[in-house]
Amino acid sequence: MGVKLLLDKAHVAGIRHFDVYRREGGYRSAEKALQSMTPEAIVEEVKKSGLRGRGGAGFPAGMKWSFIAKPEGVPRHLVCNADESEPGTFKDRYLMEFIPHLLLEGLLVSSFALGSNDTYIYIRGEYAWIVDILETAIEEAKANGFLGKNILGTGFDCNIYVHRGAGAYICGEETALIESLEGKRGNPRIKPPFPAIQGVWNRPTVVNNVETLAAVVPIINMGGDAYAQIGVGRSTGTKLISACGNINKPGVYEIEMNLSVEEFIYSDEYCGGIANGKRLKACIPGGSSVPILPANLMLTTAKGEKRLMNYESLSDGGFASGSMLGSGGFIVLDEDQSIVKNTYTLARFYRHESCGQCSPCREGTGWMEKILINILKGKGQASDIDLLWDIQRKIEGNTICPLGDAAAWPVAAAIRHFRDEFEWYVNHPQEAQTRNYGLAHYADPIHVPA
């Protein structure tokens, strides 16, 4: 059993409520931070911990906090990103649903560190029942003096508000989220200015993921150095992984980042192996936007080393033979799954979610979807595969926000590693409608022009 820092108490009966949470040691980090530390010292501790953003990009949290502008007389805001819409990802939901006070505690400490008196949780609109859970928890914290005015007699005021979105993946992107918080369409902003300088209502704003902010609690309790001892290298601490697909035990797991992918998939403590005794075909380890890998490259790197569940190891080999930890949405495909169909559903997702501001993303995602459905239905041509490759190349890097890249990468990786299956669909259109292709033949990676 690895160390658990976030979910160790998630199963205690009644932990959703303040009294039980407090009895189990909750809000100690808030007392320590507010009563004995300066905001600067908290930022320092988070820097020392090596904590990296858990929303997908993995940017060091302490460094991000140190960028926040502090113009005289202008309020600053912390915004918690609970939009969680990346396919395969359902870890923030679990944390908020089962142990909401952990998030509130992390938000309180982080708000104190950043000087945010009004902090927002931007939550995806579909998580409607979690809004109630969070609002109840906020009321409890307020009634017990851990939110509201003059918290713990320190003179620090902090309110937390839940802002419910309304169905738009793009609002997870931090500048789109800010637009949405201002009551507008979720169109990402051009950066700079960065939110740390001009965010919501043109005020300095820090946006962090739910899990990132919850991790501040153990960091303050145990100290940044001790936190940094857990994990390996620059992948410090623990990570929540939401596992789904063809596995025996889908669910949310807190792991130490020195765990091997093989153990994660096959051991009974985690996914419990591939369902129905089938074989592993492919895996998308970090949410739908990260490259899909065939089984062999998932379990070991191209150099033949065991692949581990952390930032560095999962991206080892770059796009040629690696993937990314991303949001921790771990999707497993067995030998009966069609890579073409899976890629099609993801392409449809990105077309649906493109905000439409940039033509490469708006048009490109639509073309990719159309070409993929044609191939899937047995109406594709050999040239379509190269056309898909060409389109994704033209989207990547040419858009305002990274949704364009996120749409391009899954298609690129599917063609790179499973080209033989795409060709089979094109060359045997009728057969492809009647049976599965089966395990990959692991075609050599296609030549990628520089």
Partner 1 sequence: MPAFSPDQLTEFQRLVSHYPEGKQKSALLPVLHLAQNSFGGWLSAETMDYVADLLQIQPIEVYEVATFYSMYNLKPVGRYMFEVCQTGPCMINGSDDILAYIGEQLNIRPGETTADGMFTLKTVECLGACGYAPMMQMGKTYREHLTKEKVDAIIAECRANAATNN
Among 100, 195, 224, 245, binds partner 1 (CB under 8 A): 245
Three-state DSSP class for residue 261: helix
If the CB atoms of residues 41 and 143 are measured against partner 1, the closer one turns out to be 143
3-state secondary structure of 37: coil
The two tokens of residue 296 are 């062999």
Residue with smaller CB distance to ligand FMN, 49 or 212: 212
Of 130, 160, 181, 207, the residue at the interface with ligand FMN (CB under 6 A) is 207
Q: Give the CB-nearest residue to ligand SF4.
A: 361
Cα 219 from Cα 48, distance rounded (Å): 9
User: Binding residue for ligand SF4 (CB under 6 A) from 293, 401, 415, 432?
Assistant: 401
Q: Which does 361 bind (CB under 5 to 8 A by kind): ligand FMN, ligand SF4, partner 1, none?
A: ligand SF4
Q: What residues form DSSP beta bridges with 283?
A: 293, 332
Residues touching partner 1: how many (CB under 8 A)? 57
Measured in degrees and rounded to the nearest 5, phi and psi for residue 15 equal -65, -15
The closest of 229, 162, 158 to 5, measured between CA atoms, is 229
Determine, following the binding rule CB under 8 A, whether residue 168 of this chain makes contact with partner 1.
yes
Percent helix, strand and coil across the chain, each to the nearest 5: 45, 15, 40
Query: Hey, which residues between 269 and 298 contact ligand SF4 (CB under 6 A)?
Result: none
Residue type, 253: Y
Tell me, by CB under 6 A, how many residues bind ligand SF4: 14
Burial of 208 (0-12, 13-18, 19+ CB in 10 A): buried
> With binding defined as CB under 6 A, does residue 361 bind ligand SF4?
yes
C-alpha span between 178 and 205 (Å, rounded): 9
Write out the E strands in 190-292: 205-209, 231-232, 235-236, 238-245, 251-256, 280-284
Rounded to a whole number of angstroms, the minimum distance from the CB of residue 75 to ligand FMN is 20
Q: Which of 404, 410, 412, 421 binds ligand SF4 (CB under 6 A)?
A: 404
Angle at alpha carbon of residue 7, lines to 80 and 269, rounded to 5°: 130
Q: For residue 207, what are the β-bridge partners? A: 79
CA distance 74 to 197: 11
Cα(50)–Cα(37) distance, rounded to whole angstroms?
19
For strand 77-82 and strand 205-209, is the pairing parallel, antiparallel, or unpaired? parallel
Distance CA 319, CA 341 (A): 21
Q: Which of 166, 226, 320, 382 binds partner 1 (CB under 8 A)?
A: 166
* Choice from 109, 147, 401, 411 touching ligand FMN (CB under 6 A): 401
Alpha carbons 294 and 284: distance in angstroms, whole number? 9
Q: How far apart are CA 372 and CA 387, in angstroms?
A: 11
Is 185 among the residues that bind partner 1 (CB under 8 A)? yes
Largest CA distance in the chain: 73
Pick the stretch among 20-28, 252-260, 268-276, 354-362 that binds ligand SF4 (CB under 6 A).
Answer: 354-362
Print the binding letters for residues 237-266 with ligand SF4: x by CB under 6 A, - otherwise: ------------------------------
Residues 170 to 199 in contact with ligand SF4, rule: CB under 6 A = 170, 188
* Nearest-angstrom CA–CA distance, 243 and 248: 10
Which of 29, 354 has the CB closer to partner 1?
354
Stretch that binds partner 1, among 24-32, 183-191, 358-366, 375-383 (CB under 8 A): 183-191
Backbone angles phi, psi at 23, to 5 degrees: -60, -30
**Which one of 81-89, 96-104, 125-133, 396-404 is the stretch in contact with ligand SF4 (CB under 6 A)?**
396-404
Nearer to partner 1, 201 or 442 (CB): 201
Contact between 56 and ligand FMN (CB under 6 A)? yes
Closest-CA residue to 110 (of 196, 198, 212): 212
Binds partner 1 by CB under 8 A, chosen from 116, 242, 301, 365: 242
Which residue, 85 or 357, is less far from ligand SF4 as judged by CB?
A: 357
Residues within the interface to ligand SF4 (CB under 6 A): 170, 188, 354-358, 361-362, 399-401, 403-404
Binding site for partner 1 (CB under 8 A): 75, 84-90, 92-93, 118, 120, 124-129, 161, 163-169, 180-186, 201, 242-246, 250-252, 284, 288, 329, 331, 333, 337, 341-342, 345-346, 348-349, 352-353, 355
Residue ranges in contact with ligand FMN by CB under 6 A:
53-57, 59, 61, 81, 83-86, 170, 172-174, 207-209, 212, 401-403, 406
